[in-house]
Amino acid sequence: MTIQLQDICKTVQGKEVLKDIQWEIGSDDCWLLAGPSGSGKTMLLRIILGLEKPDRGSVNLLGDYKYSSVNAGVVFQEDRLCEQFSAIENVAMVNERLSETVAKEELVKFLPEERLSIPVCELDALERRLVVMIRACIIPSDLLLLDEPFRGMDDALRSRAIAYIRDKAGHKGIVFVQQDDSGLEFCRKFVL
Count of domains forming the chain:
1
CA distances from 106 to 62, 100, 111, 112, 169 (A): 32, 10, 9, 11, 14
Distance in angstroms (rounded) separating the CA atoms of residues 20 and 172: 26
Q: Tell whether 13 is covered by a domain.
A: no
Q: Tell whether 123 is covered by a domain.
A: yes
Distance in angstroms (rounded) separating the CA atoms of residues 41 and 37: 8
- Beta-carbon contacts of 78 under 8 Å, excluding residues fewer than 6 positions away, are none
Mind listing the pLDDT tens digit for each residue in 62-77?
876 667 788 899 999 9
Distance in angstroms (rounded) separating the CA atoms of residues 103 and 48: 28
High-pLDDT (> 70) share of the chain, %: 98
Question: What's the mean pLDDT in 146-165?
Answer: 96
Q: Tell whether 64 is covered by a domain.
A: no
Q: Tell whether 173 is covered by a domain.
A: yes
Mind listing the pLDDT tens digit for each residue in 98-132?
889 999 999 999 999 999 999 999 999 999 999 99
Q: Tell whether 161 is covered by a domain.
A: yes
Q: Which residues make beta-bridge pairs with 174?
A: 30, 144
Domain range for 78: 30-40+69-191
Q: Is 119 helix (H, G, I), strand (E, B) or coil?
A: strand
Question: What's the mean pLDDT in 128-145?
Answer: 95
CATH of the domain at 82: 3.40.50.300
Q: Tell whether 56 is covered by a domain.
A: no
> How many CB atoms neighbour CB 186 within 10 A?
10
Q: What pLDDT does residue 179 have?
A: 84
Q: Tell whether 135 is covered by a domain.
A: yes
Q: What is the CA radius of gyration of the chain?
A: 17
The type of residue at 18 is L
Q: Tell whether 117 is covered by a domain.
A: yes
Helix (H) or strand (E) segment spanning residue 164: helix 155-169
Q: What pLDDT does residue 62 have?
A: 84
Q: What pLDDT does residue 168 have?
A: 95
Mind listing the pLDDT tens digit for each residue in 74-94?
999 999 999 999 999 999 999
Parallel, antiparallel, or unpaired: how do β-strands 143-147 and 72-75 relate? parallel
